[in-house]
Structure formats: structure tokens, C-alpha cells
Amino acid sequence: MTSVPVRSMALLAWALAAAVPARAADAAVKIANFTFNPAELRIKAGTKVTWTNEDDIPHTIVSPPQVRSKPLDTDQRFSFTFTTPGTFKYFCSLHPHMTGSIVVEAATGSNVQ
Amino acid sequence: MGSHDRDDRPSRRKALECMTWAGTGVLWTVAGGVPASLGLIDGAVAQQAKGFAFLQISDSHIGFDKPANPNAKGTLEAAIGRVRALPAKPAFMIHTGDISHLSKSSEFDDAEGIISQARLDVHYVPGEHDLVDDDAGKLYKERYGRGSKGAGWYSFDAEGVHFIGLVNVVNLQAGGLGNLGAEQLAWLEDDVKGRAASQPIVVFAHIPLWTVYPDWGWGTADGAQALSYLKRFGSVTVLNGHIHQVMQKVEGNVTFHTARSTAFPQPAPGTAPSPGPMKVPPEQLRTMLGIATVTFQQNAQRLAIIDTPLQG
């Protein structure tokens, strides 16, 4: 588990580096201590979001009707590419007090970067 | 310890004659709704009971192998060993859910292989960990749901006591607590309608039916609605799991009680950043896991719940 911050930073660096090309960036959400981090993530349409469970208990990512992951055991990941603008609220169906949201902005006009 | 024989044949008669607990735990007696702790039971202190006893186990989490307990099978085996060692055979066992960790066939198989060694009828309700297979609970329903309604709720009578198994881990809503749902509530209301208020009621479900700690989701959103149907009964006992620790509360004629897990402890509400598995020194683990026996002493209108750790 000591490698976790390094990995997160690496993902973040990757996400920043990938923001410029036409291809949408990848983004990451960490699940730790029964919390989605960041709880709200703003992305451009077409971005692939990957959740990684760092808890010792399984969690899911559910945003009806589109997103429904299998239970992620420790260190398992789930990815979903958001193509439609809008706000997608999601939660863990095992621990419903865990909530988060993905705010997807239109990809057009996103080349300000 | 008296003259208990070691005959394992199902014999309710022996349970009726004598209820003896060899172990360590806190004995609660409840008379007129007021609980009184009789202190730690140590070794071979006997509790005479003209009633019948059943057992509760919970949160086996077979498949869990993380540092908080790399051997959840071993601790379930130890729990069943305690059950088998009981001098008076309980009438049956209830399991308040999270049999498995990830709803895998192999996990249910392993749990069944161990729990069946108790040679007792087992009445199950599912925990949220038992319904995460691809078909959202199909495996659980096939194995444990025969004769049940909806997502797996049911009731039965034993020794004049009405037992109700509820499912509050289905269709959970974002930001919410455990959930029974309208269909199950309607069934419950109908199930207890017309029953004599003097009949003792035992309700069991996975997530606590009362609000223990909403920040961690420890409660049931429509639990109060369910309990409103039981208000008129003189003796209501609510048995839950999910929080992996013993908690008890008495409200009027209702006694709420949660059982320990046989797999891993969880922190007391608010004492940790999250309710995740609590890592304790190996020598402490088995003092924080365990089982519960419940004894009805019908004529005396008394009920006793004894929580017993696997060790210590």
C-alpha cells in the first residue's frame, strides 16, 4: 500500500500530460476509507475514468442506468468512458453512504489548453 | 456443569431442561423491558432456563483474506466448534448475513461445509455481500431462499415465538441506509396482523433496524415503519449483524441487539476514519469475534442474550 501515492501521482501526471492531444484525457478516482476521492470530478466528454479500490473491503460504482460495476476487491479497478455531457451522480451499492459525481463537460471548446 | 451427555441428536428436550453456557460473555436478562447485566460469565457458570435457546451467528465473510483476518474460514470453524461444544443443543441457528465476502459459489460452498458441522437447522437472511453476483442475488436465492418471499424474507413459528427474517440490503439508494421497501413492509404488516400481542416476536435482518450511526450507513431508512407494526407486542427482540460488534438498546418492549462477526472486527462508531476492517494484534482477534445465544424463558417473560467471543 506504500506505493499508492506514487501510483496516484503517476496517474495524475498522465492525466495532465494527456490533456492536450485531441484524444480525451484519462482520469482517476481513488476509493479509500469508504470515500471517493475526488468526490466530484470534472472531465471533458470522452474521458475515461478509472476507479481504484484501495480499501480492504469491496466497493462498487453505480450510476443508474448507465454505470454499474462489479464489486471491486482490494486494488481492483473499473473504468468507464463518459461520452455525454451532464452530471452523473454515483454511489457504492454496498455502502450507499459513499457518493460521488462526475461532471462531464462538452468536448467542443475544450482545446483552450 | 451438571450431567449433560454428548448426544448430538436433535433433542429440544435437553435444551428445555437446561441451558448451560461454558465460556466468557456478558449475560443480559431482560425483565419487563429493563435489561440488567449479570456480569461476566466465566467458565462453567450455569444459567437455568425453562425456555428454549437458539443461536445467532453473523458476518462470516468467507472469502475475506485481508490483514484484519487472513483466515476467515478458520475463525468460522472455531465459532462452529463453540456451537458444537454447547452442553445443551440449541433448537436452531440463525445467520444474519454476509455469509460470503463476494457472493462466489466457492465461498457459499465453503461456508456451508463449515456451518453444516453444527448439525442445526439454519435460518438465513442475506447481507449485502451475499447479493453481488452477476445476477444480483441469484446464487443466494437458489441456496437459501427456498420458500421465501421477494428478495428472501419469511417468517416461521418455533416454541410459540414468531420469527421474522427480513431483507434490508436490496435496492439501496445513494446516500441512504438499509432499506426494506414497500412490498416487504406490506408483507410484514400482514404477517403479524391477528397475532396475539402476548406472542414473543423475534425479528432478524442484516443491517441494524435502528439507527446506530448514519454517517457509516448503520441503520435502516424504513426500519421505524417496520417496528410500528410491532408496537402492540409485549416482547420484541431485533437481532442484527453488519457492524461486527455487540451493541444493545432497549426501547419500550423492543430489545435491539447486534452480534459479533466471526470474520473481523469493525471499529466503534466514529472512532476511525471509516468502518473498514479493524486490524488488531493477532492475540486479540478472537476476543473480538464470536457468537450469540438467545434463551427464552417463556413463563417468566424473560429473555437472555449471551454474547460469547471465540476466545478470552
- Choose among B102, B273, B277: nearest Cβ to A73: B102
Cell of B270: 466514529
- Chain A residue nearest residue B70, CA to CA: A56
Gap from A96 CA to chain B (nearest CA, Å): 5
**Contact across the interface for A96 and B67, Cβ inside 8 Å:** no
**Which domains, from first to last, does chain A contain?**
4-105 (2.60.40.420)
Could you tell me the pLDDT band of residue A17, with boundaries at 50, 70 and 90?
very low
Gap from B103 CA to chain A (nearest CA, Å): 10
Judged against a pLDDT cut of 80, whether residue A86 lies above it is answered with: yes
- C-alpha of A13 from chain center: 15
- Chain B residue nearest residue A74, CA to CA: B66
B35 by Cβ neighbours in 10 Å (0-12 / 13-18 / 19+) ranks as middle
Give the count of beta carbons closer than 10 Å to the beta carbon of residue B223: 25
**Total-model pTM:** 0.82
Q: Are A83 and A46 in contact (CB under 8 A)?
A: yes
Mean pLDDT, range A36-45, rounded to an integer: 97
**Contact across the interface for A94 and B128, Cβ inside 8 Å:** yes
Q: Hey, what amino acid is at A9?
A: M
- Looking at residue B52, its pLDDT comes to 81
* Pick from B206, B279, B207: nearest CA to A55: B279
Residues 6+ apart with CB under 8 A from A84: A45, A104
Neighboring chain B residues of A95 at a CB cutoff of 8 Å: 217, 275
- Choose among B68, B174, B276: nearest Cβ to A33: B276
* Pick from B140, B213, B201: nearest CA to B170: B140
Gap from B277 CA to chain A (nearest CA, Å): 7
Cell of A76: 481492483
> Over its length of 312 residues, how does chain B's per-residue pLDDT go in tens digits?
333 434 444 333 332 222 222 222 333 333 333 333 333 333 323 343 456 889 999 999 999 999 999 999 999 999 999 999 988 889 999 999 999 999 999 999 999 999 999 999 999 999 999 999 999 899 999 999 999 999 999 999 998 899 999 999 999 999 989 999 999 999 999 999 999 999 999 999 999 999 999 999 999 999 999 999 999 999 999 999 999 999 999 988 899 999 999 999 999 999 999 999 999 999 999 999 999 988 886 554 546 788 889 987
d(CA B84, CA B233) in angstroms, rounded, equals: 33
Any CB–CB contact under 8 A between A33 and chain B? yes
**ipTM for the complex?**
0.79
Angle, helices B105-115 vs B72-84, to 10°: value is 30
**Which domains, from first to last, does chain B contain?**
56-309 (3.60.21.10)
